[in-house]
Amino acid sequence: MIYLGLFLLSVILTYSIREYTLKKSILDIPNERSSHSTPTPRGGGLSIIIIFYIGVFIFRNSIENELFFALFTALPIAFISLVDDIRPLSSKIRLTIQAGSSILALYFLGGVNVIDFSLFQLSGWWLNIIAFFSILWLTNLYNFLDGIDGYAGSQTVIVGLGLFLFFSNPLGLVLVVGSLGFLLFNWHKASIFMGDVGSATLGFIVAILIFSDTSNENIYIWFVLLSLFWIDATVTLVRRYFNNESIGLAHRKHAYQRLTQVGWSHGKVVLFSIVFNAVFLLLLIFFESTIVFIINIIIVVCILYWVERKKSFEC
């Protein structure tokens, strides 16, 4: 009943936010780099964030103290991202807030002391530097990949299912129901977008969840569940850097964007990603995570090569 109630509340909140943003003309205006053609309200991801923190308090006794306090370091990012959705801010301001929240999160988590990769382990204070930049990267890549209807929201559902199934964390189902309530309005053709308040904050929250426990090969689970996001975003960034393109400028070169450019609908791309993620979610249940990770990487690389043949990165 708790999860049903949170789902219904997510629906009500998303609808209310949509009506408010329409009234106040808080709209995402399409340009030549957009994947939509009509002005659309943004900021709907705020409903997911509100539902998530309600869940944090409901399930307080199921969350370790370190993680409980670390999760609240996402609130400055939610605030500055909400402001950015209403009135765009400079990237320097947003990055500064993100960096500060990342440092605070690592402090509350007690730092990252070891990362278990099954065949070997990494340990040392320097892992916190890697964790810091990884949190920043995941925060922003989640934002980069929120470019078509339903994509980031459906990815959050997969993350939530993984969090619940593999880590027995009830907040996973909170993310699931919160995202599903939002997706009712964000499925193509979306009547509201997630906005930075949703995508950046969710990316940060996911990063905190990852670095709250990097033992027992857990890192591979997250590598697999987020593979379409982190590999696409990372490969695209590296390729743009070596092409001497401005990293800060918006673009339409991510693999999922190029698929829409060759005729795939938003719904088709998102359904493809859902099926892909669901298959690997099942594989993680029945097989060793390291083996699933290797298979996953090979298939994602093949997908990127296939997308390249359909629509070249250089075009």
- Say which amino acid occupies 77: I
- Kindly tell me if the per-residue pLDDT of 77 is higher than 80: yes
pLDDT, residue 188, reads 85
Q: What percent of the chain has pLDDT over 70?
A: 97
Per-residue pLDDT band for 126 (boundaries 50, 70, 90) equals: very high
pLDDT, residue 35, reads 65
Per-residue pLDDT band for 117 (boundaries 50, 70, 90) equals: confident
Tokens 């690389």 sit on residue: 301
- Kindly tell me if the per-residue pLDDT of 221 is higher than 90: yes
Q: Which two tokens stand for residue 305?
A: 């090569």
Q: Is there a domain that residue 315 lies in?
A: no
pLDDT, residue 38, reads 82
State the total domains in the chain: 1
pLDDT, residue 34, reads 60
Q: Is there a domain that residue 85 lies in?
A: yes
Weakest mean pLDDT among 1-5, 39-43, 246-250: 246-250
Per-residue pLDDT band for 226 (boundaries 50, 70, 90) equals: very high
- Kindly tell me if the per-residue pLDDT of 32 is higher than 80: no
Q: How far is CA 197 from the centre of its chain?
A: 12
Mean pLDDT over each residue of the chain, to the nearest integer: 93
pLDDT, residue 121, reads 86
Range of the domain at 237: 2-310
Are 21 and 43 in contact by the 8 Å Cβ rule? The answer is yes
**Rounded to 5°, angle at Cα 51 from 141 and 223:** 35
Write out pLDDT tens, residues 283-292.
Answer: 999 999 999 9
Per-residue pLDDT band for 244 (boundaries 50, 70, 90) equals: confident
Q: Is there a domain that residue 182 lies in?
A: yes
pLDDT, residue 37, reads 67
Per-residue pLDDT band for 116 (boundaries 50, 70, 90) equals: confident
Write out pLDDT tens, residues 163-197.
Answer: 999 999 999 999 999 999 999 999 988 999 999 99
Q: Is there a domain that residue 306 lies in?
A: yes
Cα distance between residue 18 and residue 192, in whole Å: 6
Q: Is there a domain that residue 121 lies in?
A: yes
pLDDT, residue 33, reads 63
